[in-house]
Amino acid sequence: MRDRIILLSKDVLRADYLPVYGNPYWNTPNINELASKGTVLRKHYAAAPSTGMGFTCMFSGLNAYELERKSYKVVDRFEQTPTLFDILQEQGYCCHVIWNSNFWDKIGYPYSKCYGDNTIFHNLTIGQLVGPHKIDAAILPEEQGQKTIKTITDEIDKIKGDKIFLWIHAPHVFFGRSSYGSDIDLFDSLVGEIRRRFGDECVYITADHGHMNCEKGVPVYGFHVYEGAIRIPLITPRIKDMPEVTYPTSNIQLKDIILTNTIAKPEYVISDTQYYAQPKRKVAIIKDNYKYIYNKRGRTEELYDCLWDEKENINLLRDRWYDSDRHRWYFTEEISFYPFYEKAREYYRLLKAKKDEIWREGGFVEEWLYLINDKYKGIKARLRNIGKGRYSKRFGSA
């Protein structure tokens, strides 16, 4: 195994933000070159669409339903299985983490604690707070973006040692930009700086999760397992003779990829929004092109062919649609051509059976308490937001 292992992840990085995965806007020469020399996993999924759960799954190699946790809360040190950090430290690596200080204090560490005993944390103020994490942060000038990259590289240059595992977790948005997906050029600049320092044979690029980007009317992330929220990039040094992997893979496989430079096709890929006792849990079971979603609240089911319908517009289990303009109902098979219903039914049986196999729920009292707490937090949030609406009139008056 290499003496230098550099894992570079970025928060809320959807796969389709990168030209390697089809984005037509950004120019990312460093990421493109790494991809051309390495292996690109085309259908790579986060095991959870939120940071704390995502980190725990990624570094432990376990799906969320396999973790000995029933709800999302501050946890003790992870000891269920050796994590990537535990294994590398045992092999003599000095482990370092560079990330945004907000994640160390609030999200990354308290809700996961899967980073070994001797890891050195470098907590930098490098992120622009946006979306659900915004705290009235001012928009910074454009030149701040390059200063942010320099802050990170200056910290990298302080790290010394013969055997190093360095995980750099870039923030939702680098200082100097204002929205998710607006800083991909800065991310590529950081990749370039890492390449100059360490070369190309030890660098891995990925994300903890994506976000919905207003698809299906959902602004951000954490509560859904649609493609935008859980399909993330993974670019690795070349795995055997494979320039790309086209079957579905999970970020729980990252540990083995780094340790053994191999990858196996999983029978199923699973993504969970919450732990088993929480009320808003949604689970996705993925096999080949098909994704089955089970919603705990309402006990509803969805099935998508993500090759035929990559935006997940047509739930193949929904038999009727209402047209509010014509005030009438239509059968799905009348209005949407899909030639593989028999195949879809077979996948539905397989995926639902897998869901039934892994599904469990909390006790009546604890589930009831979670529901009450959830309603309380909703009321509290609405009261907090009264009078705080900020609506941009970017295109003039409505």
* pLDDT tens track for 118-168: 999 999 999 988 888 775 555 667 788 999 999 999 999 999 999 999 999
* 299 assigned to some structural domain: yes
Give the C-alpha separation, 192 to 87, whole Å: 28
Give the pLDDT score at 107.
Answer: 76
Residues 88 and 153 in one domain: yes
Which of 216, 250, 275 corresponds to the end of one domain? 275
CATH number, domain with residue 148: 3.40.720.10
Total domain count, the chain = 2
Domain membership of residue 74 (yes or no) is yes
Q: Does residue 376 surpass a pLDDT of 70?
A: no
pLDDT in tens, 314-339: 999 999 999 999 999 999 999 999 99
Q: Exposed, middle or buried, 99 (CB in 10 Å: 0-12/13-18/19+)?
A: buried
Q: Is residue 170 part of a domain?
A: yes
> What is the pLDDT, as a whole number, of residue 392?
45
145: Cβ contacts below 8 Å, ≥ 6 apart: 174, 175, 176, 177, 183, 186
pLDDT at 394 over 60: no
Domain contains 307 = yes
CB 184 within 8 A of CB 28: yes
Same domain, 153 and 202: yes
Note whether 270 and 287 are same-domain residues.
no
Same domain, 268 and 328: no
- State whether 316 and 220 are in the same domain: no
Write down the pLDDT at residue 391: 44
Both tokens of 156, joined, read 């990298």
Q: Identify whether residues 230 and 305 lie together within a single domain.
A: no
Range of weakest confidence among 30-34, 205-209, 383-387: 383-387
Q: For residue 164, list its beta bridge partners.
A: 4, 94
**Does one domain contain both 253 and 295?**
no
Q: Are 151 and 201 in contact (CB under 8 A)?
A: no
Last residue of a domain, one of 209, 240, 275: 275
- Average pLDDT, integer, range 230-235: 98
Question: Which residues form the domain of 263?
Answer: 4-275
Examine residue 128 and state whether it is found in any structural domain, yes or no: yes
Note whether 252 and 339 are same-domain residues: no
The domain boundary residue, chosen from 228, 243, 275: 275
pLDDT band at 382 (very low <50, low <70, confident <90, very high): low
